[in-house]
Amino acid sequence: MDKNKILDSNKKYLQTHTETFDFLSNQLCSQGRDVTNILKKLSQFQVAIPSWALGAGGTRFGRFGFQGEPSNLEEKIDDVGILHSLTQTAGAISLHIPWDVPTDYDTVKERAKSQNIVFDAVNSNTFQDQKTAKESYKYGSLGNMTKAVREQAIQHNKEVIDIGNKLGSKSLTVWLADGASFPGQSNFQTVLQHTETSLKSIYEHLPQDWKMFIEYKPYEPNFYSTVIQDWGTSFMLANACGEKAYTLVDLGHHLPNTNIEQIVSTLMMKGKLGGFHFNDSKYGDDDLTVGSIKPYTLFLIFNALVYGMENNPQNPYPAWMIDASHNIKDPLEDLMQSLEAIQEAYAKALLVDQKGLLKAQQENDVVRCQEMLQNAYRTDVRPLLRQARLNSGGAIQPIATYRSLKIRKELIKKRGANSVASGL
């Protein structure tokens, strides 16, 4: 993307932005907040875009395409490049194998590098059957009763690691659909044991500086039981594998009203929170735009994350990823909304006076504790986000700029109205 076009479009927002930013920044400074440091942290916070979120997703009832979708890996990287140019916070892409197997590694790497994009966690796929595959995952993959199926799934994960390694990725995310739809269909202990043994074998294949993320999910596609159903099971499996294995928290993978911020805290205390899939949900794994349904919960989760990042050196810096699906919005606009919501929650969490909160907790001043969180939450931090983007050469108003530059129209012109995102 042409940087000058972004700088040019910033001109019309600059004066209003400067006024609101100065006002907020003065206010925060008088409260003893280090605005420069907050801006630095916001600029450093980079979120990986999943390759599968760049096209329109769909539901089991149908899929309505979105014109100008990226039809190959190179175009997916270009889409992330657009997001990154505008927001300066999407400097990574997370690939899904086999949907995104590169045909030419050098071209793909070059394409990413020229747009300042790095390759984040690679995702394996043993929840679908591939045309060329000998064995079927209909009744499970790493936990399947049949050894040949497990072997095929293990082998696939090892290949995903090799592909990621060639691109410069440093982690593998494993999400399993394994489970049962009806009571009695499988033996809980047997499938869990198989899953553990299979994961250990994949773990053996990890390069020295890699991590393995184990995702959990309570239900779907199986509706009676899922083998890795909750953070406890993931945590147990990660411990069984070794120090390079971690739990991955997907915000949509909890039963209603689960206290996710508490899960995050526990995992960080134990040094086992490896990665994050951001999204939002009302009912289940809805994969909606981040912050669109429960922004206060997102803030509370970020509050736990900020605390953990400052106080838990035993926990590595987590891998941040979005895991979303779009049925009715322009995927790029939706992702910009998600990135904004993530940064907003992070900025608000950075405003929490941790020392003051500890003091109020020690004094058992429950009202003050709550006030401290809510004061931070109720602050309109958007001027900080805009300033952070401005400092890095991004757009003051990413979505408005995307629209005024008619980027989707350009993509349709280049790719055609009927292009369908590869892998979907």
Contact footprint for ligand AOS (CB under 6 A):
52, 96, 123, 175, 215, 217, 250, 277, 285, 323
Determine the 3-state secondary structure of 215 from DSSP: strand
- Three-state DSSP class for residue 121: coil
Partner interacting with residue 123 (select from Zn ion, ligand AOS, none; CB below 5-8 Å by kind) = ligand AOS
Sign of the dihedral defined by the CA atoms of residues 142, 147, 152, 156, in that order? positive
Least separation, in Å, of the C-beta of 96 and ligand AOS?
A: 6
Q: How far is the CB of 200 from Zn ion (least distance, A)?
A: 22
Nearer of residues 52 and 119 to ligand AOS, judged by Cβ: 52
Look-up of token digits 């047997």:
190
Q: Which lies closer to ligand AOS via its Cβ, residue 79 or residue 323?
A: 323
- Shortest Cβ distance from residue 339 to ligand AOS (Å)? 18
Rounded Cα distance between 157 and 101, Å, is 13
- 398 Cβ neighbours under 8 A, 6+ residues apart: 86, 87, 336, 339, 340, 389
Report the alpha-carbon distance of residue 13 to residue 16 in Å, rounded. Answer: 6
Distance in Å, CB of 324 to ligand AOS, minimum: 9
Q: Where are the beta strands (DSSP E) in 182-278?
A: 211-215, 225-226, 245-250, 273-278
CB burial of residue 282 (10 Å; 0-12, 13-18, 19+): exposed
Q: Which does 57 bind (CB under 5 to 8 A by kind): ligand AOS, Zn ion, none?
A: none
Site string for Zn ion, 91-120 (x = CB under 5 A): ------------------------------
Q: Show contacts with Zn ion in window 234-253 (CB under 5 A).
A: 250, 252
Give dist(CA 157, CA 173) in Å, integer. Answer: 9
Q: Which stretch in 13-21, 281-289, 351-359, 391-399 sits in contact with Zn ion by CB under 5 A? A: 281-289
Q: Nearer Cβ to ligand AOS, position 5 or 96?
A: 96
Minimum distance from residue 177 beta carbon to ligand AOS (Å): 8
CB 321, CB 121: distance < 8 Å: yes
In the bound state with ligand AOS, the residue whose beta carbon lies nearer, of 96 and 166, is: 96
Which parts of this chain interact with Zn ion (CB under 5 A)?
A: 250, 252, 277, 279, 285, 287, 323
